[in-house]
Structure 1
Amino acid sequence: MIERAGVDQIKELTRFFPAIALVGARQTGKTTLVQSLFPDYSYVSLDVPSEAALAEHDPDAFFALHPAPVIIDEVQYAPGLFRHLKVHIDAARHEMGRYILTGSQKFGLMKSLSDSLAGRVGIVSLEGLSFAELKAAHLGSLRPWLHRGGYPELWRLPEFPARQFFASYLATYLERDVRQLLNVGDLRDFERFIRVLAQRHGQQLDYSAIANGIGVGARTVKAWVSVLEASNQIFLLEPWHGNLGKRILKKPKVYFADSGLVCWLLGIEADSLDQSPFVGPIWEGAVFAELRRQSGALGLNRTFYYYRDNEGTEVDFLVLGGGARFIEVKWTQYPGTADGRNLKKLAGLTHSGSSPELRDPTLWILCRTEQAYPLEVDVAVTAAGLSSVGKILTG
């Protein structure tokens, strides 16, 4: 089994919280991870309708049948269970790590956790496999990771055709998650929306343009975007809004969580990835995923933004927390000095602007190089590959 980053974080939280919640999209390895970490715990999945119904309508009988210590998988399917879980926790408040919860629907689950279990639950996010995890397991190189993505099943079974996995994944997602979260009259419309949105991976989110492209209203598109975000299929990257004396564009950018899913939605085969017009956005999204995944695994409190102003200055990622890091992403092995132009321009603006959290940033170009090196003599722009992400986040 691939060793997952963040295991130490989960173990640490079980020392201080009666319950642990592992949150992430379907098939990211949540169940496998918690069952390997807590092999002596009983296990129940609320993906089973009868178990979900029992948990929702007769929680006392549910807990009698599944006493602690217990793993409760896909706990969002029984929102009424949380108040009763609080009672059980408070009856033995000093006993830590007895309830392990997993869930794949972020917004509803987080609301239930904050409303009923505040101060009683430690929360960990789990995405697909990072490049660092695959590299440590000697399983994949950069291009296969980009094309297949980070769903563990695709790496546990290397012969599993990615197109078959994603076709099944999308069908299950539409039937189980979309139907529950949203009253969609025709799931084919929603599937068409997902494919249109994939074409805008890494771009600013324009609800009206998407709505016009698929023949629905902008309000419908906003609701559908919320569903994808709630189920951890996409991430919205907000623009940085501080005061640098420039007019800053304010639409978020949209990224699918998994590069393999994007490749499948766009019909990109492994041998044509380099020639695809989408390779730049796919690489950019993969870098964003690696930043998020390693930040979470390292237990770091980092926030992510992008920068774009009306004069055309754009920087792909601003990473704040423990200092500032400005990052440009380039699908090249050897970036040129011009590739660092916007980094230096934005760094110059931060010296004269009134945003102290951006001052004295480190400047990075994340590209396909194996070894980090300074881009220019006497200029603090460093070209680096994905293997440097941990250093970038902690430095």
Structure 2
Amino acid sequence: MFPRKTHQNVQSALESQAAVVLLGPRQVGKTTLALDIASARPSVYLDLEREADRQILSEPDLYLDEQVGKLVILDEVQQMPGLFKSLRGQIDRRRREGFRTGQFLLLGSASNVLLQQSAESLAGRVRYIEMPPLQLAEVGSDHMNTLWLRGGFPDSFLAESDQASMDWRLDFLRTYLERDIPALGPRIPATTLRRFWTMLAHVQGGLLNAAALAEGLGVSGQTIGRYLDLLVDLMLVRRLQPWHENVGKRLVKSPKVYVRDSGVVHALLGLGRTESLLGHPVVGGSWEGFCIEALLAAAPAGTEPYFYRTSAGAELDLVLRLPAGDIWAIEIKRTTAPKVSRGFHTSAEDIKANRKLLVYAGQQDVPVAKDIRALPLDQATRVLSEF
């Protein structure tokens, strides 16, 4: 088991909150992490995808009253939305009995569904933590190219060969399309959603053009929005919003869209080897998305991500507003020759950036200009994690 940053975050949250909701796509390692935490304390674990475990909670208070003093782990908790009202009563009752923290660990793979279900009942009683796929700091910078090619789902990253990794990801896609998504309710043909997902991979990091996607699929723009909302909710796609503050210039208003795991991008496009990836037009967008996910995973909780682009073409790949108010301007390039364009300088001035970075494919920390440094990805994530 890799030492996961999320493990520390969950442990810390359980020490201060009655309930923790751990969000993340399927197969990312949530259950493994939860069972590892459970091994160190009195705990019970229920998987709410299993009918037998759902039956145990048919009268939730009868069962949960017997578990006071234990950590109750409920996996795929969005399967029982009516449970949250009972959890609120349980948390409040336990507080009165002196059990104020570390009572419930709830795991879920549909963020908006789960947030909506829990927000009404557990407001002020719960902390939300998102678990991303494996990150560079967790596997080591020596494995960066493997992580980029295969993505961060543990079974994909640890596969014995690139072909075995690709086979796992193709099975992962098939399971999501044929079982997991229909289980959430949407009646979308698997072949249609697969085509849509693949179209997003082809334009990785591009501005959302709903009209072009709709024309390609033969559906309406409203339907495209519904498909995109679904993949965003499942934490499989990131919708990066444009910087919206008035800087006196005409700004692009469409979001940029990224398939969040680079290995999934490559599986959708049939890119199973590094050589085929490096020769493909998506290589730049894939690297950019890979870096953005790594930077956001390293950023302090509460960091707000954006991109910046004017109608004249000045652009920043990533803008981070940190909780303390600092604004970071970040350019990402798949190059070993670190230099930034005039548009980067102009854009950084527009947003009044406090920190300016170029994340590049080299190995050295290099000054690019008076107040701009070029950093390898592992160093950039380390610098960001220290704030």
TM-score by length of 2: 0.92
Matches for 1:14-53 after TM superposition, within 5 Å: 14-39=14-39, 40=41, 41-52=43-54
Query: SS of the residue aligned with 2:73?
Result: strand
Q: Match of 1:380, as an amino acid?
A: D
What is the aligned partner in structure 1 of residue 83 from structure 2? 81
Task: Measure the CA separation in 2 of the matches of 1:284 and 1:347.
Answer: 18
Query: SS of the residue aligned with 2:307?
Result: strand
Structure 1, residues 309-335: CA drift from partner, whole Å, max 9, x if none?
111111101111231110111001122
Matches for 1:1-395 after TM superposition, within 5 Å: 1-39=1-39, 40=41, 41-52=43-54, 55=57, 57-60=58-61, 62-63=63-64, 68-93=70-95, 94-95=98-99, 96-135=101-140, 141-159=143-161, 161-270=164-273, 271-295=275-299, 299-321=300-322, 322=324, 323-336=326-339, 339-349=340-350, 358-376=351-369, 379-388=370-379, 389-392=381-384, 394=386
Task: Measure the CA separation in 2 of the matches of 1:10 and 1:393.
Answer: 17
In 2 relative to 1, CA 85–300 (structure 1 residues): closer, same or farther, beyond 3 Å?
Answer: closer
Aligned residues: 376
Cα pair 2:166 2:272 within 8 Å, conserved: no
Q: Give the drift of 1:242.
A: 1.1
Task: Measure the CA separation in 1 of the matches of 2:287 and 2:135.
Answer: 13
Q: Give the drift of 1:100.
A: 1.0
Task: Measure the CA separation in 1 of the matches of 2:193 and 2:2.
Answer: 34
Cα pair 1:201 1:254 within 8 Å, conserved: yes
Cα pair 2:298 2:382 within 8 Å, conserved: yes
Query: SS of the residue aligned with 1:33?
Result: helix
Cα pair 1:54 1:61 within 8 Å, conserved: no
Q: Give the drift of 1:181.
A: 3.2
Query: SS of the residue aligned with 2:278?
Result: coil
Q: Give the drift of 1:243.
A: 1.4
Structure 1, residues 17-69: CA drift from partner, whole Å, max 9, x if none?
111111111111111111112214121111213423553x4324553686642
Task: Measure the CA separation in 1 of the matches of 2:19 and 2:8.
Answer: 16
Q: Match of 2:383, as an amino acid?
A: K
Q: Give the drift of 1:185.
A: 4.7
In 2 relative to 1, CA 276–66 (structure 1 residues): closer, same or farther, beyond 3 Å?
Answer: farther
Task: Measure the CA separation in 2 of the matches of 1:69 and 1:381.
Answer: 47
After TM superposition, the structure 1 stretch with the greater mean CA deviation from structure 2, 20-29 or 60-69, is 60-69
In 2 relative to 1, CA 225–92 (structure 1 residues): closer, same or farther, beyond 3 Å?
Answer: same
Task: Give RMSD over aligned pairs.
Answer: 1.9
Query: SS of the residue aligned with 2:258?
Result: strand
Cα pair 2:18 2:104 within 8 Å, conserved: yes
Q: Match of 2:104, as an amino acid?
A: Y
After TM superposition, the structure 1 stretch with the greater mean CA deviation from structure 2, 115-124 or 185-194, is 185-194
Task: Measure the CA separation in 1 of the matches of 2:33 and 2:253.
Answer: 38
Task: Measure the CA separation in 1 of the matches of 2:303 and 2:152.
Answer: 21
Q: Give the drift of 1:207.
A: 1.2
Task: Measure the CA separation in 1 of the matches of 2:158 and 2:277.
Answer: 23
Cα pair 1:182 1:227 within 8 Å, conserved: no
Cα pair 1:328 1:340 within 8 Å, conserved: no
Task: Measure the CA separation in 1 of the matches of 2:130 and 2:73.
Answer: 16
Q: Match of 1:21, as an amino acid?
A: V
Task: Measure the CA separation in 2 of the matches of 1:82 and 1:204.
Answer: 38
Task: Measure the CA separation in 1 of the matches of 2:269 and 2:283.
Answer: 11
In 2 relative to 1, CA 216–54 (structure 1 residues): closer, same or farther, beyond 3 Å?
Answer: farther
Q: Give the drift of 1:190.
A: 1.4
Cα pair 2:61 2:90 within 8 Å, conserved: no
Query: SS of the residue aligned with 1:273?
Result: helix
After TM superposition, the structure 1 stretch with the greater mean CA deviation from structure 2, 58-67 or 11-20, is 58-67
Task: Measure the CA separation in 2 of the matches of 1:202 and 1:99.
Answer: 37
Query: SS of the residue aligned with 1:319?
Result: strand
Task: Measure the CA separation in 1 of the matches of 2:240 and 2:188.
Answer: 29
Query: SS of the residue aligned with 2:271?
Result: coil
Structure 1, residues 219-239: CA drift from partner, whole Å, max 9, x if none?
111111111011111111000
Q: Match of 2:314, as an amino acid?
A: T
TM-score by length of 1: 0.90
Query: SS of the residue aligned with 2:173?
Result: helix
Instruction: Give the ranges of 4+ consecutive aligned residues of structure 1 lying more than 4 Å apart after TM superposition.
Output: 64-67
Query: SS of the residue aligned with 1:365?
Result: strand
Cα pair 2:313 2:343 within 8 Å, conserved: no
Query: SS of the residue aligned with 1:141?
Result: helix
Identity of aligned residues (%): 31
Query: SS of the residue aligned with 1:261?
Result: helix
Query: SS of the residue aligned with 1:161?
Result: helix
Cα pair 1:331 1:368 within 8 Å, conserved: yes
Query: SS of the residue aligned with 1:6?
Result: helix
In 2 relative to 1, CA 279–65 (structure 1 residues): closer, same or farther, beyond 3 Å?
Answer: farther
